[in-house]
A and B are shown apart, each in its own frame.
Chain A
Amino acid sequence: MGPSRTRAVARRVLKQIRRDRRFMILVVAAPLLLVFFVKTLFDATSIPAAGQERFVVPFGAYIVHFATFILTAIVLVRERVAQTLERMFVNGYRQFEIVGGYLLGYTALATAVSTMVLVALQLLFNLGYDFQRLAESFIVLWLLAVISLSLGILVSNVAQTEGQVIPFIPLVIIPSFLFSGMMVPVDALPGWAQVISRVSPMYYANQVLQDLVAGTSLSSNLGAVMALPIYGILILGAATFTLREHS
């Protein structure tokens, strides 16, 4: 029954996404527009292409991170407010089936966003990545997207209303940018900020992407790469555990 109910939630989520064309267009177009803004910004500077790459690839990952995080943070709260979440529980759905179904359903969207952002980076910034490097960058972006979906579910569990979830969004998104290591090395930050940086998936994604940009393949950097799925499993477990079945 478990897998069939998880599939039922995923199918339902996918149907809803497909039928909301405006939402689909926004989810794909907004990250592309942001990549274009970053390109415009760098065109106005004298930073050489090699220096740009160390920033723009992780920044592309950051765009994927917040786009996918916001998606599930808001949508699941909407389910709670509309009482469809309560109705799902009373009708026999369980926490892990709902979280799993949402993750499966939105993974399709996360895959699309990751692909579009990576293609936009490659074309706009003339990265010149070969297929292997593109595929490895995609794996990192995709893992980050799936983890960010789980993080969105976790945050939505803390909020009771859409209004309550809004203050959480900058609280998660902005420190994950500031303390990810993209701008300032994490070791240079004070201890408390280093703790925050390690709570954000952007820290792990940035570490792997910086190595990729420097020419290290994923296979020779497995320790850092594995941090992402391990972090993802922990967040997913926390998201499932904190999804309340009753008030």
Chain B
Amino acid sequence: MADQAISVSSISKAYGQVVALSGVDLEVPKGSIVGLVGANGAGKTTLIRMLVGALRPDSGEIRVLGVDPFAHKRQVRSTIGYMPQAPVLYEDLTVLENVTFFGRGHMSESVEQKARSVLEFVDLRDQADRQIRALSGGQRQRASLAATLVHEPQMLFLDEPTAGVDPELRHTFWQRFRRLAESGVTLVVSTHQMDEVVHCDRVAIIRSGTVLANATPSELFSTGGATVRVHRGGDVVEQALRSLSDDLPGLLHNFGLDPRVTRIEVKEPTLEDVVLSMIGREGDHGAK
């Protein structure tokens, strides 16, 4: 428990008849990157807003760094950084003014100096004096990230930070997140882009307000099984294996000595395939 930065137990939330979260349990180890993965509307934003103390659950218990974020909101808020899904910034202020303003909530000294330093970290130093409305989508996301990092929080809650960001910048973002995790910061990052799962230490897959799986990427990958295509005579026989290491020897035993078999192909799914198969193609129902 002491090594857990976040501990969530049986939290639920409904907006009228619409269930946003239902009985969610989650543990986030300190200094790790935990991905909240799910389709739009799965409940990721609701969960993050609860963790930062902006939305109260209907039931259940939340502990952030050992304390209740609603009962001890000052204590929790001084240690966390929150990046909302949209770049929530003042359009008519400059990048530096925005970052400095949000930084002043936690600091009274050297705010501008720290703001300039964090703008360097997100590669926005040259844009410091431009108004937000004059920036591209990617630059706005970076400015929003800077406003999240300026007070050097121990924990970061990033709600779809790479949404609408080009592939190169996404790569840069994840490099930055890894650097922060290596320095001891705990990151909770939501995403609906399945390929980003590989960057996380643990992944919680959310669908319709419930956590379907909470595992490391390799654990998830090992659940994916494989498909084997056996070319025999003029036919192709396709067989799904639940576990490649357990089931493949038996399959080779059955087909390997058959003289009509000309080729055996093994197709392993990508991590993205595994996550997509868990989330399902029918989409989510009823969650925000």
Contact = CB atoms under 8 A, between A and B. Distances in A.
B73 A12 contact: no
B145 to A, nearest CB: 13
Interface string A137-175: 000000000000000000000000000000000000000
Contacts of B86: 83
Contacts of A5: 104-105
Interface stretch (B31-39, B49-57, B163-171, B215-223): B49-57
B interface secondary structure, majority: loop
Interface stretch (A55-63, A90-98, A122-130, A183-191): A90-98
B232 interface: no
B90 A1 contact: no
Contacts of B227: none
Interface in B81-139: 82, 84, 86, 88-90, 92-93, 97, 101-106, 108
Interface string A69-93: 0000000000000111011111111
A interface secondary structure, majority: helix
Interface residues of B, number: 30
Given A15-B97, A83-B84, A87-B82, A4 B54 contact: no
Nearest to B85: A83
A20 to B, nearest CB: 7
B108 A12 contact: no
A84 B78 contact: no
Contacts of B93: 12, 15-16
A83 B151 CA distance: 20
Contact of A247 (B55, B77, B103): B55
Nearest to B93: A15
Contacts of B102: 87-88, 91
Residue of B49, B53, B102, B151 contacting most chain A CB atoms (<10 Å): B102
Interface of A: 1, 4-5, 8, 12, 15-16, 19-20, 82-84, 86-93, 245-247
Q: Which 7 residue pairs of A and B lie closest in terms of their CB atoms, listed nearest first?
A: A92-B105, A91-B105, A8-B104, A92-B106, A90-B82, A83-B88, A91-B102
